[in-house]
Amino acid sequence: MNVLTVVSHPRVDSLTFQVAHRLIAGLKAKGHQTELLDLYRSGFNPVLWEADEPEWTADNQRYSSEVEREIDRMKNHDGLAFVFPLWWWSMPAMLKGYIDRVWNYGFAYGPKKLPHQQVLWLSLAGAPIERFEKRRYHSMIDHYFNVGLADYCGIPNSKVELFYETIESGPGHVETLLNRAYHLGLNYTG
């Protein structure tokens, strides 16, 4: 499988990037191909302007050249993986802007759906699991990514993985998270 791995974090020395690289190592060890898209360093503009607002009555949608390039990039992959920190119980604005602009009408939803068979949402949360369980945040997050995004856009296999307590974690905890990321890559299609 050819997997587009999209990473959204402002710092390349972050745990988010370490996790992304370990996920990619697992994908490659299993024989998958992957391309890393670093949203921050790619120069991607997350702000949706008029050129990327859908024409609801048009049979064929045309978007800005930047969005058309990203649509073409997505078409070259049959699997998706997103690696990002969980901020305010959701994705960073950079990734939300990518979804808003690229997963657009006529490509990702509406008369056409995404052709991808699988997506992994791998998110790093600073809080402990107890904080998620107390208010059932994990259920809301699962529903948002698996149903609100993936299912709505036609992706039949969607999985959310949350890595907890990522802010003040010791070396042993970090290595556990990195090993989990590697195994998610190995078992991407499992």
pLDDT of residue 132: 82
pLDDT of residue 59: 75
* Total structural domains within the chain: 1
What's 9's domain CATH number? 3.40.50.360
pTM of the predicted model, to two decimals? 0.95
Predicted confidence pLDDT, tens digits, the chain (190 residues): 999 999 999 999 999 999 999 999 999 999 999 999 999 999 999 999 999 999 888 878 899 999 999 999 999 999 999 999 999 989 999 999 999 999 999 999 998 999 999 999 999 998 888 888 888 888 999 999 999 999 999 999 999 999 999 987 678 999 999 999 999 999 999 6
pLDDT of residue 190: 63
The string over 139-174, giving b where at least 16 C-beta atoms fall within 10 Å of a residue's C-beta and e elsewhere, is eebbebbbeebbeebebeebbbbbbbbbeebeeeee
Which structural domain, as residue segments, surrounds residue 68?
2-186
> 141: alpha, beta or left, given left = phi > 0 and alpha = psi -120 to 50?
alpha
109 phi and psi angles, rounded to 5 deg: -150, 170
